[in-house]
Structure 1
Amino acid sequence: MEKLKNLNNFVIAITKISHIVHLANETFKMCNNNRRWWVRPANHTREEEGFFRTCIQQLQQKDEEHFYKVTRMTVKNFNLLLTLLQERLRRFSNRKPICPETRLALTLMFSAQGCNFNVNAWTFKMGVSTVKQVIYETCDAIWNELHDIYLSTPNRSEQVLIAEKFVVKTGMPNCLAAIDGKHINIVRPSNSGSLYYNYKKTYSIVLLAACDANYVFTYVDVGALGSQSDGGMLAQSAFGKKLLNGTLEVPREVNLPGTSCSFPYYFVGDSAFPLKANLMRPFPGSNLPADKEKFNMVLSKARLHIENSFGILSNRWRILHTNISACPKNADKIVLATVLLHNFLMLQNDRNYFTLELVDRNENNQEIHGHWRNEVNPLDSCRQGAVNRSSSYAFELRNILKEFIRTSF
């Protein structure tokens, strides 16, 4: 009798446990929006019917012109990039993982065409969360694997070569780079208040960059709040702090060409930046004397290199013209990846990616706008903030440079 009673209690206990497990399963389903399947039925055919297999792979094999339009690179450069990233993009799973080639193609199409996540999910037969994860991971891989190769800080000898190129192209001696900042619009971050709200009444992060005379970015910093000015972001960035306090590694000063006047190397920027011994900006105001107008004109020729670099970047990677629907941290990853891809293709001398007609140029003493200005609107520049007080030495250097330019042309 006692054994029967114990058996009955055991059965009751098992029944209660079963009921509790059932309730737990139901609660889990409710918390996960009653997920009915691990992979949507329509996505089971991704390998056979997804966009990569039905379109991109066929273009890769049969139509390189349209393959370039989709990915912004030739098949040769795509394969080279895939080789560099393959190990970082490889995944291992009990289910068949998304191959590195598909991951890279998806990220390039997203960046080049500016498609939103839902369109890419439908096209590539993936879940939206999977598409986001693939894009963010691939952008991370591009930055981590390539930035030491294609965006490394120029050493002193490389900086001297950059300065020589600038003086040949623009007449600006000892110039190491042109610098500027642009707004990259994003969807309003949650609980951000007005931190990312800019003077254009949109939400943005700021891309600060410098470039050489060949439209290749040499320094880049992204992620500052949209409410900051160029000068404000410069002071906050690691590169800017070194530039402003004079600890940035640059070549020793040399004589200006054809003179015995020793002069430091410097960067050029617009009026949003402070005037420093190693950072030249134009003379302010209108109706200036001829010598100051001439100085501003030559400085503008050098500074236009960064404007054109941003123009090429945003023309080729149209995601930069959308409101990027990602939190600021992930938006930073996307922007940095586009900068790396730009440098990769510029340094590979991809003639499809860059042509001289794409940028502003002078033909027969006539200024001609680059094609990028006809195809996309320029990225919004940062507003002018409160400019730091400049030293008398910085003013003296600018006047010396003004006199050199006045007598050299």
Structure 2
Amino acid sequence: MAELMIEDPQQLREFLRMRHGDFQVILDMIEAEITRKDTVMRKAIPAKERLALTLRFLATGDSYESLAYLFRIPANTISGIGPVVCKAIYKALKDGIKFPRSAVEWEVVAEAYKKLWHFPHCIGALDGKHVVLKAPAKSGSYFFNYKGTHSIVLLALVDAKYRFMFVDIGCNGRVSDGGVFSATQLFTGLKEKALSLPDPSPLPGRTKPVPYVVVADDAFALQENIMKPYPFRTRDIVSRVFNYRLSRARRMVESTFGILATRFRVLLKPINLNPDKAQLVVQAVVALHNFLMKEPNEAYTPPATTDLEDRDGNMMPGSWRADFNPQGTLLGLRHQGSNHHATSAREIQREFGEYFMTPIGEVSWQYQHA
């Protein structure tokens, strides 16, 4: 690291997945917690090496044996360092995962979705992923998911700028897809109307009040505060335009997962740790992602990383898509079959669709993509 710092700062950024200044900020925050005392037998491994070792593991997913050759630290010692540092990283940076606490803060999120992705009253994009593990010892089918692998679930709500606002990490992969979400505090808050959301109000140029909503895919049930696509069999223009506009907003959570996994490639391989330690790994990378996304950061997300659109709404895929395989080791939640929903939820869905067809609500290129 000393040689890289002097001779090749760019390679140092690639090695750590962050600028040296960001590395130093994190080190200052957690140094006291991860420092160990020297003994008469040997000197302790410095906190700086402990952090660099852990960041390299998160960035590559390399085995402890491989890291042992790189850092000249025994693999059994590394196995004790990683979880401790991951826990310290999450503890220090978790406040960067900011969940809105007032109607004003929710409106800031909604305004960004309206401005950047042309979806008003949107307070976040929701999705979940199965983080694949090596089969835990003596766990039977407890972590066994529908794809035939073992996993824990990462469920996330994301804002319009690729940042996590809410995460729930650690539910065992065996739990049904509806059960994953229904066990979260987010679900409870939406159901009990306890999230301090802004009051329902008409969309621009309309008269029917509609609530503020989360956009999601078919893995989630349609509710008054959760909008999902119309079924594929639905063919009228209103539903097709709605599905297109919803997919543009929902793309934010897909892209966020993709950026996270391609920058912290430990998520692209089955994690060879027990579930509790794997949970610490996922918590750490989520917290690091938000920390590194707090401002324009070309070391973390170079300009070509994220998806872009041209004037006609044609998507130019970000570089993260070349490496990210959601059917590999970061599996999507299973899509739900038919489910019961309130008539009011379907009416809200239709109101959004009709608004997107008005001169105020439409975007010029939507019909060629719908």
- 1:318 Cα deviation after fit: 0.4
Aligned pair in 2 of structure 1 residues 401, 364: CA closer, same or farther (>3 Å)?
closer
Choose which of 4, 8, 11 in structure 2 pairs with 1:66: 11
Aligned pair in 2 of structure 1 residues 356, 302: CA closer, same or farther (>3 Å)?
farther
2:214 partner SS: strand
CA–CA distance in structure 2, aligned partners of residues 230 and 171 of structure 1: 29
Choose which of 383, 392, 404 in structure 1 pairs with 2:343: 392
Contact 2:221–2:336 (Cα < 8 Å) also in 1: no
Unpaired segments ≥5 residues, structure 1? 1-55
Q: Any idea what the Cα deviations from partners look like across 1:84-110, whole Å, max 9, x if unmatched?
A: 222222222424222111111001100
Equivalent in the alignment of 2:321: 373
- 1:348 Cα deviation after fit: 3.6
Name the TM-score, length of structure 1 as normaliser.
Answer: 0.82
Matched, 1:402 2:347: no
1:357 partner SS: coil
Contact 1:271–1:384 (Cα < 8 Å) also in 2: yes
CA–CA distance in structure 2, aligned partners of residues 252 and 62 of structure 1: 56
User: In the alignment, residue 216 of structure 2 is paired with which amino acid?
Assistant: G
2:126 partner SS: strand
Which runs of structure 1 show a deviation greater than 3 angstroms over 4 or more consecutive aligned residues? 258-261, 385-388
CA–CA distance in structure 2, aligned partners of residues 119 and 199 of structure 1: 32
Choose which of 15, 27, 34 in structure 2 pairs with 1:82: 27
Q: Any idea what the Cα deviations from partners look like across 1:43-72, whole Å, max 9, x if unmatched?
A: xxxxxxxxxxxxx22212331110011110
Q: Any idea what the Cα deviations from partners look like across 1:177-215, whole Å, max 9, x if unmatched?
A: 001011111110122211212222211111111110000
Work out which structure has the larger RCO, using CA pairs closer than 8 Å and 6 or more positions apart in sequence.
2
Matched, 1:225 2:172: yes
Matches within 5 A, 1:164-183: 164-183=111-130
Matched, 1:383 2:328: no
CA–CA distance in structure 1, aligned partners of residues 4 and 176 of structure 2: 43
State the Cα RMSD in Å. 1.7
Choose which of 313, 325, 331 in structure 1 pairs with 2:278: 331
Greater displacement, 237-246 / 396-405: 237-246
Q: Any idea what the Cα deviations from partners look like across 1:299-351, whole Å, max 9, x if unmatched?
A: 00000000000010011000001111111010000011011111110004211
* Paired positions, count: 353
Greater displacement, 383-392 / 176-185: 383-392
CA–CA distance in structure 2, aligned partners of residues 146 and 131 of structure 1: 22
Name the TM-score, length of structure 2 as normaliser.
Answer: 0.91
- 1:222 Cα deviation after fit: 1.0
Equivalent in the alignment of 2:98: 152
User: In the alignment, residue 99 of structure 2 is paired with which amino acid?
Assistant: T
1:173 partner SS: coil
CA–CA distance in structure 1, aligned partners of residues 85 and 173 of structure 2: 25
CA–CA distance in structure 2, aligned partners of residues 230 and 396 of structure 1: 25
Aligned pair in 2 of structure 1 residues 191, 385: CA closer, same or farther (>3 Å)?
farther
Matches within 5 A, 1:98-137: 98-137=45-84
Structure with the larger helix share: 1
Equivalent in the alignment of 1:298: 245
CA–CA distance in structure 1, aligned partners of residues 213 and 38 of structure 2: 52
Larger radius of gyration: 1
Equivalent in the alignment of 1:259: 206
Contact 1:196–1:203 (Cα < 8 Å) also in 2: yes
CA–CA distance in structure 2, aligned partners of residues 185 and 393 of structure 1: 37
User: In the alignment, residue 352 of structure 1 is paired with which amino acid?
Assistant: A
User: In the alignment, residue 345 of structure 2 is paired with which amino acid?
Assistant: A
Aligned pair in 2 of structure 1 residues 97, 195: CA closer, same or farther (>3 Å)?
same
Choose which of 200, 203, 218 in structure 1 pairs with 2:147: 200
User: In the alignment, residue 393 of structure 1 is paired with which amino acid?
Assistant: S
CA–CA distance in structure 2, aligned partners of residues 381 and 310 of structure 1: 10
User: In the alignment, residue 315 of structure 2 is paired with which amino acid?
Assistant: E
CA–CA distance in structure 2, aligned partners of residues 355 and 406 of structure 1: 35
CA–CA distance in structure 2, aligned partners of residues 175 and 308 of structure 1: 17
